[in-house]
Structure 1
Amino acid sequence: MQKKIIVTCAVTGAGDTARKSPHVPVTPEQIAQSAIDAAKAGATIAHIHVRDPKTGGISHDPALFQEVVERVRESETDVILNLTSGGGGDWIPSENNPSLGGPGTDMQTPEERHEPIGKLLPELCTLDCGSMNFGDQLYISTTDWLRRQARLIQQSGVKPELECFDTGHLRFANQLIDEGLIDGDPMFQFCLGIPWGANADAETMIYMRNQLPKNAHWSAFGIGRMQLPMAIQSMLLGGHIRVGLEDNLYLDKGMLATNAQLVDRAITIMAGLGAQPMTPEEARKHLGLKNPHRKALI
């Protein structure tokens, strides 16, 4: 177990959660403030999606990402921003013609997924490393598309967080590394418990950890009630942790959480085991973040 742990807070996500909890941030102002609050509670990284301010639903609008980034930076709160680039992959076949996407389908090209990253140049961004049955829909991220997207991220100087929702995703992430599309020491995120991906249990986490390159950094999270158990399991196995309202809405049974409360709860448990959260500056050195544009955004 490491004594210094990177704590990521995934502040809002893109799921249908805004109507389930008043604490899920929706507008750019709310998302930025939630990221700031999480950082003040001890989070090292804030993982950012944006939402349609009117509906609370999915949005990929670069202008919304820009407003969030600017609000966080103008607050002079030191937190590493990790912008999603995994949107625009939802496919729901039409009942009348399954070769066409039905209601709820939301697809983007690799270039469209990369647009906020290329424009804003955060220190980190996600790269979802494969397709899968995601609940009742299909998430599509083909290997050729992933190569294109990885190349765009590489050219931008942003470090990708390689998100692996199943073991095949981990295999392909390692392939991207072998092909020279990932620079420096790679950073992995194990996304556990999403139907129908990898299980949220210690056995699965250990297997995935054991498939990593020797120079890899890694983190893991579970969803719902498995959020904190998987976070602490990750820490005990030598990884880092992620909490936040993207993955879980509750602090305790029947008690809705805020992002800051989830970060605080995780750090309290960590402290009892002799670990502390890394500061953003410590994490920049640990992960080898070298994006020259970070200071231009502060």
Structure 2
Amino acid sequence: MNRNVILTCAVTGAGDTTGKNPNVPVTPEQIANDCIAAAKAGASIAHIHVRDPETGGISHSVEHFREVMTRVRDSGVDIVMNITAGGGGDWIPDAQDPTRGGPGTDMQTPAERHAPVDALLPELCTLDCGSLNFSDMVYINSADWLREHARLVQAAGVKPELECFDLGHVWFARQLQQEGLIDGDPLYQLCLGIPWGAEADTESMLAMRNKLPENAHWAAFGIGRQQMPMVAQAVLLGGHARVGLEDNLYLKKGVLATNGQLVEKAAAVIDNLGARVMSPAETRAHLSLRDPHTLSDHKSAKGGDA
């Protein structure tokens, strides 16, 4: 069992959830406010996507990410910031010509996916470790693209969170480490319950955990109604945990949640197990993260946006 738990709040995601729960933040201001609320509720890390403020749909805007980061830092509330770098991999074959992407397809190169990370240098960023039948679309992330992306993250000096949606993703993440593309002790996020990856159950989490390198830090989450059970299971198996409106919209059956409420509920689960949630400062020390002020100085030395 893990007695000192890093608790991440994934505040918005990129899915079609804004019409299902009005508490899902959309604008950079709303997303920043939810990061702050999550921190005040006890979260160690805020994991952020950004959205088009007009439509609520997917956005990769560096300026939207910049506004979120600036608002959070200027608030004086401390939380570790984790920017997604996994967008731009959604492929939906066109019904008439399957060699082309149809409506909803959103593809980016590794360099394009990395642009917000390179411009803003958060403490963490995600690195999705493979392709996947992701519900009714295909998420595309080839091995060579992943190697290229890992090199970009490594050069930026940002620690990657290795997101693994299936057992083969853990295998390839280990390969990246063996090839020298992951510095220090790796951080894994086991992503459970997304159709059609690994299921959100004890057997899947345990199988993936047992394939991690000996020096790995790891966390896990489940989506929907499995969110809180997977918090408890991750802690009992020695890991860290993640909650938030990216993964689950409900506090309990029929009751829509806020990010702050989900963090409070998860923190209570962790406390009731006899563990505690680590502060952002403790999280930085535990994961050997660079100080956010140092990262800002490094960005300035690079001449601002890359």
* Same fold, TM-score > 0.5, yes or no: yes
Match of residue 201 from structure 1: 201
Q: Is the 8 A contact 1:38 1:259 kept in 2?
A: yes
Match of residue 7 from structure 2: 7
Q: Is the 8 A contact 1:123 1:294 kept in 2?
A: no
1:201-252 per-position Cα deviation (integer Å, ceiling 9, x unaligned)? 0011111111111110000000000000011100100000000000000001
1:38-67 per-position Cα deviation (integer Å, ceiling 9, x unaligned)? 000000000000000000000001110000
Match of residue 68 from structure 1: 68
Match of residue 125 from structure 1: 125
1:49-99 per-position Cα deviation (integer Å, ceiling 9, x unaligned)? 000000000000111000000000000110000000000000000111100
| 1:137 maps onto 2:137 in alignment | yes
Match of residue 51 from structure 1: 51
- The within-5 A match list for 1:182-197 is 182-197=182-197
Match of residue 256 from structure 1: 256
Give me the whole-angstrom Cα distance separating, in 2, the residues matched to 1:270 and 1:163: 22
Match of residue 283 from structure 1: 283
Structure 2: gaps spanning 5 or more residues: 300-306
Shift of 1:290: 2.3
- Cα 1:252–1:107 change in 2 (3 A) is same
Letter in 2 for 1:100: R
Match of residue 22 from structure 1: 22
Shift of 1:271: 1.1
Give me the whole-angstrom Cα distance separating, in 1, the residues matched to 2:159 and 2:225: 30
Shift of 1:296: 7.8
Letter in 1 for 2:295: H
Give me the whole-angstrom Cα distance separating, in 1, the residues matched to 2:297 and 2:276: 26
- Cα 1:295–1:242 change in 2 (3 A) is farther
Match of residue 166 from structure 1: 166
User: For 2:53, what is the secondary structure of its paired residue?
Assistant: coil
Match of residue 304 from structure 2: none
Give me the whole-angstrom Cα distance separating, in 2, the residues matched to 1:256 and 1:290: 36
User: How many residue pairs get matched?
Assistant: 297
Letter in 2 for 1:256: L
TM-score by length of 1: 0.98
Identity value in percent: 65
Match of residue 243 from structure 2: 243
User: For 1:221, what is the secondary structure of its paired residue?
Assistant: strand
Give me the whole-angstrom Cα distance separating, in 2, the residues matched to 1:184 and 1:293: 17
- Moved runs in structure 1, 4+ residues, more than 3 A? 294-297
User: For 2:191, what is the secondary structure of its paired residue?
Assistant: strand
Give me the whole-angstrom Cα distance separating, in 1, the residues matched to 2:186 and 2:51: 29
Give me the whole-angstrom Cα distance separating, in 1, the residues matched to 2:148 and 2:67: 27
- The within-5 A match list for 1:146-157 is 146-157=146-157
Structure 1: gaps spanning 5 or more residues: none
Letter in 1 for 2:188: F
Give me the whole-angstrom Cα distance separating, in 2, the residues matched to 1:154 and 1:296: 14
Q: RMSD of the alignment, in Å? A: 1.0
- The within-5 A match list for 1:208-219 is 208-219=208-219
Give me the whole-angstrom Cα distance separating, in 2, the residues matched to 1:255 and 1:287: 35
1:101-150 per-position Cα deviation (integer Å, ceiling 9, x unaligned)? 01110000000000000000000000000001000000000000000000
TM-score by length of 2: 0.96
Shift of 1:262: 0.3
1:160-186 per-position Cα deviation (integer Å, ceiling 9, x unaligned)? 000000011110000000000000000
| 1:110 maps onto 2:116 in alignment | no
